């Protein structure tokens, strides 16, 4: 049995002798590389926190002392040390979550995976401990240097520092990176701290010198204080953390488990808020990750089996992000006013090629989506057209800035929402299922949802042509949907299918939102086999809706909307409201995501669970059309008599 196999609780870890810990660290790294390469997941961040997480669980008493992770993707080691060693289903339906999960373990206090939030949780928990007189408990918050670029983290620090009796231990996991190298003034400050030698060692040398030759005319302790201050000012930059009133320990080698333990014990026993600054290496112990310049294996896909001898590997499918990336570079060549903005996700959102081509026109603002949106508004006011690329789930964080800054000022800001809709294995916090709802309330905003690669390119061009209102383009993750050509154009809408029965009133108008177009076309084909006339339209721009939709709806018995978003307040509701406002009495059915937090699973599995498959939709819509036809026939029968 390996050391890792013998661990079921943090208590088992505490009982291990210190000289066995390097072996355990090696076993954990071997386990992570083997298992995560098989399933896919966040590898680099977890390889970097092995010793740090071991030290946390040896010093603190989880869950009595909550250990909170920001953003949570570095919690795999924590899972292993708290009895969760079956990684075979990691990030798959029924398996372990890729983030902390309250349903999995009492050791997981929070399920956050939106960065820069953990210090606010810690502030609240520490205040609760004080109010409820739990003075012997600590709250531990692990936050990366990347997450510290988010403004919310500094709002929390400001409050934590105001409570000298609150036992909060803040561990800064400083690897110089988030997805990519951390940027900005904070990154420069932490980098300067990394490069200095500890002034405590220099102070010891000064003590020895002073003992040999005491300073004449002043007490020795005053001399030492002056020497310490002089050394600190000379070899270490002014410490912003101590200026806030926070005790600071570090920098410490985060891969020296015993050094980290020693620092954590000092921090625990201090009795107030303390920052422990640990230097770590993302991808530590796995050469391919250490040497991968882009993101040091931040997240990897599942390993693919090697092709058989003589067999050619299948060509890689075209990805939505890649299509956006290529088109924004082309637009940048055509228009010198286009600039890019990212919130610490240059590579994941596809802006890296744009930054390489136009380095003076691309800005990484750190994990600060709120700032990014308002800064984009300022860029637009300055005569440029900013394109802000962000995951759909993180748009939630800057809604106020989109509403009250970009939209209120009628500025031409384009937001490109990657990973929209059902995203799959990253779970509840990463599904981009809210944007089509929350953006409906923004006055003047225009919102496009491309169904395939050609439409993404053309709708992006249409979006950046708008200079008097914010525009939004949203698309999912993964392989691009098959191309579907329009059979005709109605205003700004595309008609994708007309399976007419030749009747004056057709049965079903099916409104396909973006990548759900392929599903809707298959639904139409299935229903046509049953003799049901279906028209499939892609609105292209779902806000505002084209008035031609009303005219088309008037020619059908039933209107149905299929979208990859929460049903409440999204496109389906907008269609129903538009028809009501036009005094059109046509029933509208909406098919989308129920307003609940979806668990992690493959996208196709979740869509099937939600009933968003051709077979399920065709069955439900056939029943709906049949019921409506019966009602209309019953209403018309007395008049004919």
Measured between its terminal Cα atoms, the distance across the chain in Å is 86
Strand order in the sheet with 506-512: 488-490, 493-499, 534-538, 506-512, 556-566, 588-593
Q: Residue 627 contacts by C-beta under 8 Å, 6 or more apart in sequence?
A: none
Beta bridge partners of 499: 534
Distance separating alpha carbons of residues 491 and 296, to the nearest angstrom: 47
- Please tell me whether 114 is known to bind a ligand: yes
Distance separating alpha carbons of residues 390 and 342, to the nearest angstrom: 7
What the block records as the tokens of 170 is 């803040």
**Catalytic status, residue 397:** yes
Helix, strand or coil for residue 364? strand
**Catalytic status, residue 369:** yes
Tokens 């098959």, located at residue: 482
Given the residues 91, 166, 177, 282, the one annotated as active site: 282
Q: Is there a cis peptide before residue 354, judged by omega within 30 degrees of 0?
A: no
- Please tell me whether 286 is known to bind a ligand: yes
**Within 13 Å, how many C-alpha atoms sit on residue 416's CB side?**
33
Distance separating alpha carbons of residues 317 and 279, to the nearest angstrom: 38
Angle at alpha carbon of residue 222, lines to 216 and 226, rounded to 5°: 100
- Please tell me whether 147 is known to bind a ligand: yes
- Please tell me whether 504 is known to bind a ligand: no
Q: Residue 100 contacts by C-beta under 8 Å, 6 or more apart in sequence?
A: 69, 72, 75, 78, 108, 109, 110, 111, 112
Question: Quick one: which H or E segment has residue 168?
Answer: strand 168-174
Given the residues 35, 51, 327, 369, the one annotated as active site: 369
- Please tell me whether 467 is known to bind a ligand: no
Given the residues 58, 167, 397, 419, the one annotated as active site: 397
Virtual CA dihedral for 387, 449, 343, 409, nearest 10 degrees?
50
- Please tell me whether 213 is known to bind a ligand: no
Question: Quick one: which H or E segment has residue 55?
Answer: helix 50-59
Distance separating alpha carbons of residues 197 and 210, to the nearest angstrom: 21
Alpha helices in 418-493 (DSSP H): 435-438, 453-464
Q: Is there a cis peptide before residue 553, judged by omega within 30 degrees of 0?
A: no
- Please tell me whether 146 is known to bind a ligand: yes
Specify the length of the chain in residues. Answer: 641
Distance separating alpha carbons of residues 50 and 56, to the nearest angstrom: 10
SS (HEC) of 565-581: EECCCCHHHHHHHHHHH
Beta bridge partners of 561: 511, 590
Whether residue 252 contacts residue 196, with contact meaning beta carbons closer than 8 Å, is answered with: no
Distance separating alpha carbons of residues 247 and 163, to the nearest angstrom: 12
DSSP β-ladder status, 338-342 and 274-279? unpaired
**How buried is 639 (Cβ within 10 angstroms: 0-12 exposed, 13-18 middle, 19+ buried)?**
exposed
Distance separating alpha carbons of residues 182 and 344, to the nearest angstrom: 7
Beta strand spans in 311-377 (E): 338-342, 362-364
Question: Quick one: which H or E segment has residue 565?
Answer: strand 556-566
- Please tell me whether 73 is known to bind a ligand: yes
**How buried is 316 (Cβ within 10 angstroms: 0-12 exposed, 13-18 middle, 19+ buried)?**
exposed
**Within 13 Å, how many C-alpha atoms sit on residue 466's CB side?**
24
Phi, psi of 259 (to 5 degrees): -65, -40
Which active-site residues does the annotation give? 282, 369, 397
Binding residue numbers: 73, 113-115, 145-147, 175, 286, 369
Binding site members for thiamine diphosphate: 73, 113-115, 146-147, 175, 286, 369
Known binding site for Mg(2+): residues? 145, 175
């Amino acid at each position: 049995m390996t050391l890792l196999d013998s661990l079921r609780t943090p208590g088992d870890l505490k009982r291990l002798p210190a000289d066995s810990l390097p072996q355990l660290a090696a076993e954990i790294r071997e386990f992570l590389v083997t298992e995560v390469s098989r399933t896919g997941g966040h590898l680099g961040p977890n390889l970097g926190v092995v010793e740090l997480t071991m030290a946390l669980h040896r010093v603190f008493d989880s869950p009595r002392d909550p250990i909170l992770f920001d953003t949570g993707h570095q919690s795999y080691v924590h899972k292993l040390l708290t009895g969760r060693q079956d990684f075979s289903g990691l990030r798959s339906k029924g398996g372990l979550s890729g983030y902390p999960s309250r349903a999995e373990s009492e050791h997981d206090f929070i399920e956050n995976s939106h960065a820069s939030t953990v210090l606010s949780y810690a502030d609240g928990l520490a205040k609760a401990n004080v109010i409820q007189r739990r003075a012997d408990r600590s709250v531990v918050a692990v936050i990366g240097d990347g997450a510290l670029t988010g403004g919310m983290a500094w709002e929390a620090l400001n409050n934590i520092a105001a409570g000298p009796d609150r036992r909060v231990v803040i561990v800064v996991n400083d690897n110089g990176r988030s997805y990519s190298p951390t940027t900005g003034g904070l990154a420069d400050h932490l980098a300067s701290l990394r490069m200095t030698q500890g002034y405590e060692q220099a102070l010891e040398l000064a003590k020895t010198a002073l003992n040999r030759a005491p300073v004449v005319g002043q007490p020795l302790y005053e001399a030492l204080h002056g020497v310490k201050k002089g050394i600190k000012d000379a070899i270490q930059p002014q410490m912003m953390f101590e200026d806030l009133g926070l005790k600071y320990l570090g920098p410490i080698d985060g891969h020296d488990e015993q050094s980290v333990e020693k620092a954590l014990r000092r921090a625990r026993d201090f009795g107030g808020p303390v920052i422990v600054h640990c230097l770590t290496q993302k991808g530590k112990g796995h050469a391919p990750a250490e040497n991968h310049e882009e993101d040091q294996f931040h997240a990897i896909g599942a390993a693919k089996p090697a092709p058989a001898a003589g067999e050619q590997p299948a060509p890689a499918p075209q990805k939505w992000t890649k299509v956006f990336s290529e088109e924004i570079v082309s637009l940048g060549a055509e228009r010198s006013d286009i600039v890019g903005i990212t919130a610490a996700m240059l590579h994941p959102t596809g802006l890296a090629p744009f930054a390489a081509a136009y380095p003076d026109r691309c800005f990484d603002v750190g994990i600060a989506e709120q700032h990014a949106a308002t800064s984009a508004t300022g860029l637009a006011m300055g005569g440029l057209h900013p394109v802000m690329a962000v995951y759909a789930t993180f748009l939630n964080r800057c809604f106020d800035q989109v509403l009250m800054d970009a939209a209120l000022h009628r500025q031409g800001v384009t937001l490109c929402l990657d990973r929209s809709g059902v995203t799959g294995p990253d779970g509840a916090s990463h599904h981009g299922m809210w944007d089509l709802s929350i953006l409906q309330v923004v006055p003047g905003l225009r919102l496009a949802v491309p169904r395939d690669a050609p439409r993404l390119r053309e709708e992006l061009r249409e979006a950046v042509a708008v200079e008097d209102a914010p525009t939004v383009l949203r698309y999912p993750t993964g392989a691009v949907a098959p191309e579907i050509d329009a059979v005709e154009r109605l205003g700004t809408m595309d008609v994708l299918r007309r399976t007419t029965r030749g009747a004056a009133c057709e049965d079903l108008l099916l409104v396909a939102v973006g990548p759900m177009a392929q599903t809707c076309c298959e639904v139409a084909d299935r229903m046509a086999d049953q003799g049901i006339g279906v028209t499939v339209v892609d609105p292209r721009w779902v806000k505002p809706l084209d008035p031609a939709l009303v005219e088309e709806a008037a020619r059908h018995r039933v209107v149905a909307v299929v979208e990859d978003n929460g049903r409440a307040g999204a496109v389906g509701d907008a269609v129903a409201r538009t028809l009501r406002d036009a005094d059109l009495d046509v029933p509208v059915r909406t098919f989308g995501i129920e307003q609940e937090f979806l668990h992690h699973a493959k996208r196709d599995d979740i869509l099937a669970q939600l009933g968003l498959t051709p077979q399920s939709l065709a069955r439900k819509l056939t029943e709906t059309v049949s019921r409506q036809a019966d009602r209309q026939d019953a209403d018309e029968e007395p008049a004919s008599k």
